[in-house]
Structure 1
């Protein structure tokens, strides 16, 4: 059952919001039973329906918008700026900072928003640091800001993908394209790209598995989530976050699943960036052609001035208004 409470907030003044997804373990049980259970060994390793658009903001140099299912994320990358002298210290690499903010309508649990923003910002920073060529801007700071518009699961992995596209759009040197995906297991069922309800179910009710002080390790029911960010060109993992209890064999299995999904996302992102470069090239050619026409028009005017003189040129360009009666 969904419990609704009144929460006082400056952005949502007295609005009714959902505080918790489930109120009792039985609610979670009912939800799990109502799910269309996926296969224990998935055969279709593909990302969600994905929409990516780089350069969505004209006021900044690097930006990207991504929809991963119903999860919606906007990333903004500002050019590197010099560190403040008071806080600057000599180092052989630049500083990368990632900041995450939730839109006021993106989540109902307002009490934990600040903590989630700090956690996601820290995880995002750790994921992006191996990708950026920080040796190219010594004593400079690069800020990446992410705005969460809607959260329907796979939030961190979606933010990583969106930031990778925004970095390329901004022209920041990177070692490779970074892609990330999420997988989890609950009661022997593997969920690829889990929704927010599945993630909430995993965290709220994982303590109700067959774990107790007298049970053996073999009887413990596996439950956990893994988020993998990878760079496929070098076959390197930029970040791998694991939560919950997973056996080594299950961990490797979920890791392989996420890496396969990452490769599919990489092809999608490459296609989007390639299309973006072609669009920009066509725009540059169009602007160049328009500039050439304008230059030719100015040259013709100058030639007429040289031949006719200023007064004659002005008189030749004065035209009579056909709608005005001559007195």
Structure 2
């Protein structure tokens, strides 16, 4: 992996390529040639796995694998704001916290800045989604744990948090989906890997009029209202290129939306089956207790106790 340095408000993850990274221009070219290049642009998601309700100790949780990027999201029910910090608000407060697992990043010195930046971006993306007018003077905390980062980290976190919010029963206006696309050396990379995202930073500080198009676009959308919850662009690209990448991400978002709807539907069916089993177990337990009470009334307390005493075979003389 390339060496990164904390530079605020640059790439989406809060880190970028340091200047003078390559000893010669050929080093950059060799690295680019070693990458797998797309022969055609396919606006389709990576291989995706999503699971809602992975943790039984919290009301809302979700786990998502987007290729090799792995994210876990946890949502706690809204809690009342502290008196010392509370002030009358027309909407509830949404806070997102991002943490990297110890094994998820090789550049430990950049982790705090990346966590802070990702948390802020995630909050901006989820605020238009949540019905914050339903919990006035309350705070909703969303916590994300990054287990592995292979690109599209912010968009994967947004998708995972959207599923966790629905699992927790938080009212939302729609299902949110997000995806990432970028352009480099006139090649469009849909769902770019971490290496491609890092490579985009080599043009930082150059004159945009003399450079090739390069940039990254992250788009989070809510299709029911045809609304963009967040659209983050960095780098240099022409307006027509921006529109082209936006169309690619919207197409991917539609595919992810169908997948997430299917996951949530299966989760509801699964929970319904579990509720039925729990109700049946409670009914059987009620019948057993009713039978015990009936026998107690018929036999009396002394006879009932004597009839239920069993001799221990190990102490039998």
Do they superpose with TM above 0.5?
Answer: yes
Aligned match of 2:84 in 83, 86, 97? Answer: 86
Partner residue, 1:272: 263
The answer to whether structure 1 residue 255 and structure 2 residue 253 are counterparts is: no
Shift of 1:174: 0.3
Residues 81-230 of structure 1: pairs in structure 2 closer than 5 A: 81-203=79-201, 205-207=202-204, 217=209, 220-230=211-221
Shift of 1:98: 0.9
Partner residue, 1:65: 63
- Determine helix, strand or coil for the equivalent of 2:90: coil
d(CA) in 2 for partners of 1:196, 1:2: 9
- Determine helix, strand or coil for the equivalent of 1:275: helix
Cα contact 1:153–1:195 (8 A) shared by 2: yes
Partner residue, 1:293: 284
d(CA) in 2 for partners of 1:291, 1:241: 51
State the Cα RMSD in Å: 2.1
Shift of 1:167: 0.5
Shift of 1:31: 2.0
Partner residue, 2:32: 32
Cα contact 1:70–1:151 (8 A) shared by 2: yes
- Determine helix, strand or coil for the equivalent of 1:100: strand
d(CA) in 1 for partners of 2:197, 2:236: 14
**1:60-82 deviation per Cα after TM superposition (whole angstroms, max 9, x unaligned):** 21111111111111111111111
Aligned match of 2:233 in 231, 237, 242? Answer: 242
d(CA) in 1 for partners of 2:121, 2:207: 31
Shift of 1:99: 1.1
Shift of 1:326: 4.3
- Determine helix, strand or coil for the equivalent of 2:182: strand
Shift of 1:23: 4.5
Partner residue, 1:54: 52
Cα contact 2:2–2:195 (8 A) shared by 1: no
TM-score scaled by length of structure 1: 0.87
Cα contact 2:48–2:64 (8 A) shared by 1: yes
- Determine helix, strand or coil for the equivalent of 2:124: helix
Q: Any stretches of 5+ residues in structure 1 without a counterpart?
A: 4-18
Shift of 1:207: 4.9
Runs of 4+ in 1 over 6 A off after TM superposition: none
- Determine helix, strand or coil for the equivalent of 1:242: strand
d(CA) in 2 for partners of 1:121, 1:263: 25
The number of aligned residues is 301
d(CA) in 1 for partners of 2:78, 2:178: 24
- Determine helix, strand or coil for the equivalent of 1:87: coil
Cα contact 1:2–1:23 (8 A) shared by 2: no
- Compared CA separation, residues 308 and 127, structure 1 to 2 (3 A): same
Partner residue, 1:307: 298
- Compared CA separation, residues 34 and 272, structure 1 to 2 (3 A): same
Shift of 1:324: 3.9
**1:189-232 deviation per Cα after TM superposition (whole angstroms, max 9, x unaligned):** 110100101111111x2359xx659xxx4x64100000000001
**1:89-119 deviation per Cα after TM superposition (whole angstroms, max 9, x unaligned):** 2121111111111112111111221111111
Q: Any stretches of 5+ residues in structure 2 without a counterpart?
A: 4-16
d(CA) in 2 for partners of 1:2, 1:260: 30
**1:146-191 deviation per Cα after TM superposition (whole angstroms, max 9, x unaligned):** 1111111000001100110110111110000100000000011110
